Structure 1
């Protein structure tokens, strides 16, 4: 009897494994969905929102979620160093930084201990309305200094640098659409902690206890192509192994790869 091709043998041998993994994942979802870090795999933000468990808040734009991990996010992490490396070199020629998804100035606080971010730089934070309300209150109370807040991109300044650290997995719009809402494309992009995979883009749900947040894991090739179509060259790229993620209910999809990029707009 002829021997099966190696590729076919591998496919047949791995199918039971994939089936078992998928079955275990779905069982976990049914038994303890409120305890999983990530659950579900959806084709869009809308589908993910529709699957939020009963009684849970939806998304980040809720007062109960705003202070989640604030102090932790304000600490300098190992994955911040590539961003600081490039920002340190850009700062002498930068007047305006748009910190998209900058929360309550967490990166301004973390970087400010090591970089001269308090010189005459307009550091504008764009975020959701619930976060911006708290941020503006903190400014009035003197708990924050050196930043300003907006929740509408039509109010965004003409930025030299767009900093997006941990934004893109929560962004509910294509990145090119987001950038085109700005008054002009920023000359420099510092993108950090973007979750990627080699397969199709997938949206899962991240568990914040009282809330579930749609969380996007992007197709890497498509994202890189988007940057090129917008006119950006990738100058540097780094991996963040500690931030890779597995969707517990869908382990067969594999682990995501967390990446960072420094991209610069090409000269016209």
Structure 2
């Protein structure tokens, strides 16, 4: 039955690459486009309920962290949101790691706004290490395994916060999310495999929270059911 409701999620694929190739056949694919960078930027800079567990842990760990790698941090949206109610954010060396097109615009915005504590990079290397790895909404869109990304750093961060992780009980599924003019691969991970991965990386999960309002079904494949959105604070053993 046609409802007229816009389709946000479409398709169900076994791998990220399969989803990306399907997106390419339909038009603009992936997030690495300047035309996608500004989509919902102002909204993403606002504090939302699921930010508060992240803020809690950042404030709790204040004495232990001097540097943050905000992986998939867009144009510094969480930095802008957090500093409004937690001024010590400005005392952290906050680095956003994201795609080149996002980084180019993000650097220009930060310079224009005088955000000197905010820096950007589209490359990770062995010459840098960070106290906290923050991935807020990262894992749905990450095109490499998380352990491989962490391995690019000089040392594993002692603290790991992953927020808005899309999980499910069945096999991992990659769908396509409509973001502005682009279709972007969006991963719904098998929960058991995800938890095993975190343990194998040497991290212990110290806290977990649910985000019911960010659970999603695939519009074109409702038979796969709803994903669960969750957040995690993990500490290196």
TM > 0.5? yes
Counterparts of 1:221 and 1:156 in 2: how far apart (Å)?
A: 33
The CA deviation at 1:143 is 5.3
The CA deviation at 1:183 is 1.4
2:182: which partner in 1? 211
Q: 1:52 to 1:109 in 2, by over 3 A?
A: same
1:117: which partner in 2? 89
Structure 2 contact 39–180 (Cα < 8 Å) conserved: no
The CA deviation at 1:56 is 2.4
1:47-91 per-residue CA deviation (whole Å, 9 max, x = no partner) reads 111212755211110010001110100000000111111110111
2:59: which partner in 1? 88
Q: Which has the higher helix share?
A: 1
Are 1:250 and 2:221 an aligned pair? yes
Are 1:44 and 2:15 an aligned pair? yes
CA-based RMSD: 1.9
Are 1:150 and 2:121 an aligned pair? yes
The CA deviation at 1:156 is 6.8
Matched residues, number: 236
Structure 2 gap ranges (5+): none
Structure 1 runs of 4+ aligned residues shifted over 2 Å read 53-56, 139-145
2:137: which partner in 1? 166
Structure 2 contact 176–185 (Cα < 8 Å) conserved: yes
Counterparts of 1:124 and 1:233 in 2: how far apart (Å)?
A: 24
Q: What TM-score results when the alignment is normalised by the length of structure 2?
A: 0.94
The CA deviation at 1:178 is 1.4
1:201: which partner in 2? 172
